[in-house]
Each structure stands twice: as structure tokens, then as C-alpha cells.
Structure 1
Amino acid sequence: MSGTPHEVQYLTLHGHRRAYVKVGQGPVLLLLHGLGCDHTTWEPVIDSLARRYTVIAPDLLGHGQSAKPRADYSVGGYANGMRDLLTVLGIDKVTVIGHSFGGGVAMQFAYQFPERTERLMLVASGGLGPEVSPAIRAVTTPGFHQVMGVLTLPGVRHVGMAGMRALSRTSWKSTRDLDEVAEIYDSFKDPAARHAIRHVVRAVVDWRGQIVTMADRAYLTQEMPMGVIWGRDDKVIPVRHASNAAALAADARIEVIPNAGHFPHKDHPHRFAKIVHEFVRTTQPATYSRARFRSLLRSGQVGSGPTATVTSITSA
């Protein structure tokens, strides 16, 4: 299911163009897409969310219609970029929702800027365990740029994309996400995009899997509402990482959606929007206290231990 395209706006930060969509009114949701995607991955849910919230969906640097310079593509650099974007837009606080790699950026944003983060929601997120699809690890290998240059030549690319889209329409769970993969594959025809993605992946993944993790800092979420959504049939990042979140973060709210893959917001958009709304409606925004943050950093532990709730919900 796809939503109606929204007007893309632009602004320049630190000399680089940033593209974003801003719609709706109310409390602010910052939606961060995954690796190789852009704001359009959220199109199926933007309209539903915008009925109650102001939705900000940027194209991260190196993705979509944003610039693709030789720049800092670390999760910390992305978190800084989101802070600066929100500052220019006159937005002080947000509920940040991150998908896949965007989940890692969301966690980093909440860690770096707790005073600007009301809630944290992770969707099939990176940063919760080492395992990741071999296809993502392959981006870090020597020769990726050159090989992908050949694979994205017009004739080869069109055949490959048509095959992926056809397979995504079958009933096989293992191929359900290939329509989105086809869009990522298409974006690699741009050499600047390939360079940017390679820098992004190398910052968070090596040949053994994910490098960046929230495990050592999860206790800092004690004062912040945290939700996690995962598709049970995710073939990119294992669904068991949702349980890792439950073990790491006290009071995390975990939702595992049956009959959904790595993009649950696209597989079941109405259900996804309902989960987001219930999470926001039933939690109080985090209130930042420097003294409390200092105390948590000094103790390095949550104290009472995790009490996360894991919920499996039926698909719509």
C-alpha cells in the first residue's frame, strides 16, 4: 500500500541541501528512514499520523533528494543534523521514530539530546544486536562500488528491479520486502549515493555484523518512554532483536506484528499508525533533568531492572 506523495521542502544546513516533508498539526513526530531509503518509505502512514501530529520526515544526508557530499555519515553526525534541522524549523521537542538504520540514529538522537526527546520508538531497528542481512555486510566489502556500478547499468537494473517487484507480489514471506529493496537498488545508479551508503554502512557494520549498539547505554532510557515495533517475518534484522530491547530497556513497550517483514509500517500502515498513537496517547513526555541524567551516568545501571512488555498483535 502506498500513500499520496507529499510536497518536499528544502533548506540548506552547513552548505548542504536537506530535503524533508512537513505535514499536520499537533505534537511533533520525527520519522527517520532506513539505509538506502528516503522519506517516501513513510508515505503509507504519513496521512494517518498527520491527523493528530505534526509529521517531519526528512531525507537523511546521502539519501533521497538530500545532498550526497563527502561528509560525516556516522550516527552521531546524523543526530546532529536532525537537531539542526529541528532548530531551523523552530521545533524544540519531538517523539523520534526510527526505522532500521534510522532507529540507530533515533537512539543516538535521544542519547545526545535527551532534553529534546519526548519519546523514542524503534521500528525493526539497528543497534540492538550484531546480526544483520549479508546483503548489508556486502556493502562494506572491497569492490562494492564498482560491482554495483555494473549491476545498475540501465538494462541490467531494469531487469533486476522487475524481478524483485514480481517476487514481492508472491505469497513467499522471504520475498515480501523486495519491492522496497528494488527502490534501494534503483538509487544505487547514482555514484554519489553509492559512495554515501558505503560510508554509512562502514560506520555501523563490519564483516561480523553491526558494530554500533545501544546495549551499554540502554539504562539511560529509564526516564524516557520507549516503544519497539517489529515484523515477525523480518529477514533483514532478526525479530529476536525485539526481545533484546525488552531485556535492555526498562518499561519498553514491544509490539511484534505477524505477517509483516522489515517494513511493518508499509505492510500494515493502519495498524502501525494505531500503535504509534496509542504509544503517544498513553505515555507522558520525558522530562529532562540534568541531575537525574548525571545520577544515571554515575550509577551506570537502571536499578530495579527491566520490566518490558512484549506484545504480539494480529495483523489488520
Structure 2
Amino acid sequence: MTPLVLVHGFMGGSAQWNAYVTPLENQFSVVAVDLPGFGANAHLPPIDSIGGYADWVIQHLRDLRLGMYHLLGHSMGGMIAQEIARRDFERVDRLVLYATGAIGVLPGRFETIEESKKRAAEDGPAATAHRISATWFLDREAAQGFEHCAAVAAQSKLAAINAGLDAMHSWSGEQNLSQIRQETLVLWGDRDRTYPWSQTHMLWQEIPKTSLAVVPGCAHAVHAEKTELFQLLVSDFLE
């Protein structure tokens, strides 16, 4: 059984997948990481580059003695996954790029990275967690999965928030998409407020071996908004 590694995004954590990937755990050995500064690893010093996060995950998986594995990256985790797929290409079997893009500075983002840093400093981590998490869902705070998502995000301290924003601000993987060798699924909710269609289209067109899944009526958290469909799409692709 090939393990499935899940890499969360900005202000995420391994707990964000709780209750949403249970059927996948029946098919794969699921390894959900917590990036330094986030989730269960909020006590660790954060990293301020996408490449640095990728190297940390690769070393973490080696410490776990994983051989070949499937890789799924969500949001900022999708940027990290792109770097992992290139750097650890001999061990990454299939790749899922979920609600993500090829550049860190997004013209269509719900707010600029500079504005996010400014507001995080003014409002504090708890309020930032609440505000950012609301953008993940089509129904914002009224969404069923919002409270859980916000609780995971609230584990992030200001230093990790700034480091994650800096990492995205300084990264672009656009020039490296043709180097991704794995069979890849690009998965996107059609109402995503963070990553516009232009980014999804770029991944789909520029990565040599891609399939595309666009889920209607979802924002940035397809796994929480349309859980069964998310599970079906991922499991079908990986098998």
C-alpha cells in the first residue's frame, strides 16, 4: 500500500483533515504532516521559504522511513508539494495539487500579502485565524466546517503567520512546471477566493501529465464542503 502524504497550507495543520479523509485511510496509509510553526508543530521555529518547507518535509518523511509515496498539497502546501515533487522525484509516485497555484503573489487573492501581514500585526493571530478561515468556505462563518478550520488556524503564532506570508511572497514555480514528472491531478473549487482559474489553468496546461477536476459550488475547502466528492476524486486518481 503506497502511503498518501498530506501537506496543509497557510495557517493549516494535520488536524484540518480530521473526519474528511477517513475513507482514504481505508485505502492508503495516510501521513498528514504539521509544518514547522503550524498545527501540532506550532512550537517549532517557522520557515520563511517554500523550498525550506519542502526540504523539511522530505527529511521528515525520510525520518519516518517512507519509500515511495503519493503526495497531496493544499493551498500553500500545493506550492511546497511542487517543490517536493521536483526534489524528491524518485520517491513521489502521484501528485495532487489542490486549491493552489504556481506563483506566490496572486493578483486575484482576496487581499494582498502585504495587507495580510499588516492586518495580522494589528488584529493578532486569533482574529486572523477567524478571518482567514472564513475565506476558505463558500458560506464563510456559517459553513459547517468553519469552526474546526478556525480552531486549527488559531494554533499559529504571529511569527509563523509572517514566515508563511514571506515564503509565498518570494516564491514562483511557474518556470519549473514542465519539470514535474509525476501523473498529477489538479483539483479546484470553482468559487475559490484565493486561487483564480488562471492559476489552475496554468498548472493543468504546463505540467506534462495532468488531469483536471473542477468542483462546482465550493471555495477553498472542497474536502470540507463536498467531502464525499473530494474523497472519490482523490481515490479514483490515485488508484
| Equivalent residue letter for 2:94 | R
Which SS does the other structure have where 1:50 is aligned?
helix
Could you tell me how far apart the structure 2 residues matched to 1:188 and 1:277 are?
26
Tell me how far 1:137 sits from its aligned partner.
4.2
Tell me how far 1:102 sits from its aligned partner.
0.5
The residue correspondences of 1:126-165 to structure 2 (distance < 5 A) are: 126-128=101-103, 130-131=106-107, 132-134=109-111, 136-141=113-118, 144-145=120-121, 147-149=122-124, 152=126
Could you tell me how far apart the structure 1 residues matched to 2:141 and 2:174 are?
30
The residue that corresponds to 1:80 in the other structure is: 55
Cα separation, partners in 2 of 1:278 and 1:94, compared to 1, 3 Å: same
Could you tell me how far apart the structure 2 residues matched to 1:177 and 1:115 are?
43
Larger mean Cα displacement after TM superposition, 196-205 or 50-59? 196-205
Cα separation, partners in 2 of 1:89 and 1:189, compared to 1, 3 Å: closer
Kept in 1, the 8 Å contact 2:35–2:41? The answer is yes
Q: Does 1:36 align with 2:14?
A: no
The residue that corresponds to 1:278 in the other structure is: 236
Tell me how far 1:213 sits from its aligned partner.
2.3
CA shift digits 1:53-110 (9 cap, x unpaired): 0100111111111143445331111111111221121111211100000001111111
Cα separation, partners in 2 of 1:81 and 1:44, compared to 1, 3 Å: same
Tell me how far 1:50 sits from its aligned partner.
0.7
**Structure 1 segments unaligned to the other structure (5+ residues):** 1-25, 206-210, 282-316
Tell me how far 1:267 sits from its aligned partner.
1.1
* Alignment partner of 2:140 out of 161, 171, 175: 175
**Structure 2 segments unaligned to the other structure (5+ residues):** none
Cα separation, partners in 2 of 1:266 and 1:183, compared to 1, 3 Å: closer
Which SS does the other structure have where 1:65 is aligned?
helix
* Alignment partner of 2:163 out of 165, 175, 199: 199
Cα separation, partners in 2 of 1:104 and 1:46, compared to 1, 3 Å: same
Q: Does 1:93 align with 2:68?
A: yes
Q: Does 1:225 align with 2:180?
A: no
Could you tell me how far apart the structure 2 residues matched to 1:71 and 1:181 are?
25
Kept in 1, the 8 Å contact 2:42–2:157? The answer is no
* Alignment partner of 1:45 out of 6, 17, 20: 20
Higher normalized contact order (CA 8 Å, seq sep 6+, divided by chain length): 2
Cα separation, partners in 2 of 1:233 and 1:70, compared to 1, 3 Å: same
Kept in 2, the 8 Å contact 1:177–1:262? The answer is no
Alignment coverage as a number of residue pairs? 233
TM-score (norm 1): 0.65
Cα separation, partners in 2 of 1:177 and 1:92, compared to 1, 3 Å: farther
Tell me how far 1:127 sits from its aligned partner.
2.5
Could you tell me how far apart the structure 1 residues matched to 2:11 and 2:174 are?
25
Larger mean Cα displacement after TM superposition, 58-67 or 97-106? 58-67
Could you tell me how far apart the structure 2 residues matched to 1:101 and 1:52 are?
26
Cα separation, partners in 2 of 1:177 and 1:275, compared to 1, 3 Å: farther
| Equivalent residue letter for 2:63 | V
Cα separation, partners in 2 of 1:276 and 1:219, compared to 1, 3 Å: same
Tell me how far 1:280 sits from its aligned partner.
1.3
Compare CA radii of gyration and give the structure with the larger one: 1
Kept in 2, the 8 Å contact 1:177–1:261? The answer is no
The residue that corresponds to 2:208 in the other structure is: 250
Could you tell me how far apart the structure 1 residues matched to 2:69 and 2:30 are?
10
The residue that corresponds to 2:97 in the other structure is: 122
Could you tell me how far apart the structure 2 residues matched to 1:231 and 1:83 are?
28
Cα separation, partners in 2 of 1:178 and 1:78, compared to 1, 3 Å: farther
CA RMSD of the aligned region, Å?
2.9
The residue that corresponds to 2:225 in the other structure is: 267
Kept in 2, the 8 Å contact 1:79–1:109? The answer is yes
Kept in 1, the 8 Å contact 2:98–2:188? The answer is yes
| Equivalent residue letter for 2:204 | A
Tell me how far 1:255 sits from its aligned partner.
0.5
| Equivalent residue letter for 1:204 | M
